[in-house]
A and B are shown apart, each in its own frame.
Chain A
């Protein structure tokens, strides 16, 4: 039984902020659903959004059952143990060195796992079947996210080696980005990819989604100090500064390339900036954060321009926006971390070259594991069930085929089916006046 006696180390201010931060991060997943839904064709709107909601369902359950334990139980340097499986021992007593209840820590970390699973779906939208995606989401959240979170946050070998990752450059950003690349390769390109222009159907969804993601990201980065202390305040502020700089540079790149600033480009820039500052948020000064935001635009922009010229249909550019920007942020820490701002470590510029080595280690290991494990996992699932819809189904659209619904149903020509299963012959439309 959990102890109800108040724990001296619990700080009410920290707890209050972390409750709010957790809710902010949870909002990011439906926001991502909106962002992704706007980027696909209208016939796949609901399926795309549903993959994000599926993450809220399946990843949460998997997290409570074993995912949290695999990530945050002591275990060994590679993988956590099962002592916290089924949330055993997760109650009001804070973890060692923490000032918030263990239960709240678990919920905050769960919200990270959920959004990461949802991110990966961007690689396989418009053709992956929903059933196999549910299976994938459950297994991936434990076998890939859980393991990477253990490495970076749960006392695993990267953390032990001294790699700095404030809010998830390893498990969330590189984890999702390089898994997305593997998923795109295993599932294969959409049938019309490279033959027809496959355009976003609602740019306003994309912009609103990006705005809500940025809003939620203040909880994501600002909460990753697990307190209301300086590192949280620094990360929170850097989450404002860095994406703003990314936006400005993105505008400039758009202007140079086509003489016009694009809206969907701007939405993408917000994501890239937030991702770039994610690992570095609490470790670098606001000035360096602004440079990071500006610099992070360049490699991601390049990948977004070049990727569609390849045969790889990594549909919504999760690799560019998350994998590459996350890698940029992780490496950036190695140069610009500043003890006087973070109280933890200096980077190369402040006299500690070894930090760069520790960051480079993460920049190699995390992408390699994410890519390899995801590739293998999807191949195995693919042996048990077909991963993708048929060409005919793809043509009809995943909304109708997978969910029996349309995002923009008009009701014209819809014939009501009465509860006994018989079509009502006298009522020709769904809503007779």
Chain B
């Protein structure tokens, strides 16, 4: 089991949702985050105050999957989020120690398998 974390552009979030759905990955959560990943800073001016915005809005997907689903999830994130320009985001894959589905008490593989899957 792995936790796949994908950090993507907010305007690609809907595309990622679609590619994940097509890859039959049905369980995930998203968070709005701010981050910096080497893209050019935006300069903004508010009356006399000029600032370089060092942080860009991103959306963070967290997807807990069983091993056979790791690569399809990564592919789906890449397909949905890629524009080819700096700032497309990153994917981190980390091992998962335990997973519990609260409703049933199922653990591990049973818990990351979609209901009815």
Contacts and interface: CB of A to CB of B under 8 A. Distances in A.
Interface of A: 192, 196, 392, 395-396, 400, 404-406, 409-417, 423, 430
Interface of B: 9, 11-12, 14, 34, 36, 41-46, 49-55, 83, 85
B52 A392 contact: no
Q: What secondary structure prevails in chain A residues at the interface with B? A: loop
A28 to B, nearest CB: 27
Contact of A430 (B14, B43, B49, B85): B49
Contact of A412 (B45, B55, B85): B55
Smallest CB-CB A-B distances: 10 pairs: A413-B55, A395-B11, A414-B51, A413-B54, A415-B52, A417-B50, A196-B14, A404-B44, A430-B51, A404-B45
Q: Which among B51, B52, B83 has the highest number of chain A CB atoms within 10 Å?
A: B51
A416 to B, nearest CB: 6
Contacts of B83: 392, 395
Nearest to A418: B50
A417 B43 contact: yes
A413 B43 CA distance: 12
Between A192, A392, A415, the greatest number of chain B beta carbons within 10 A of the residue's beta carbon is seen for A415
Contacts of B85: 392
A364 B45 CA distance: 47
A407 to B, nearest CB: 11
26 contacts: A192-B14, A392-B83, A392-B85, A395-B83, A400-B42, A404-B45, A405-B45, A409-B44, A409-B46, A411-B51, A412-B34, A412-B55, A413-B34, A413-B36, A413-B54, A413-B55, A414-B51, A414-B53, A414-B54, A415-B51, A415-B52, A416-B49, A416-B50, A416-B51, A417-B43, A430-B49
A425 to B, nearest CB: 11
Given A412-B34, A417-B50, A400 B44 contact: yes
A415 B52 CA distance: 5
A302 B113 CA distance: 45
A404 B9 contact: no
Given A196-B14, A406-B44, A409-B44, 5 more contacts: A395-B83, A405-B46, A414-B44, A414-B54, A415-B52
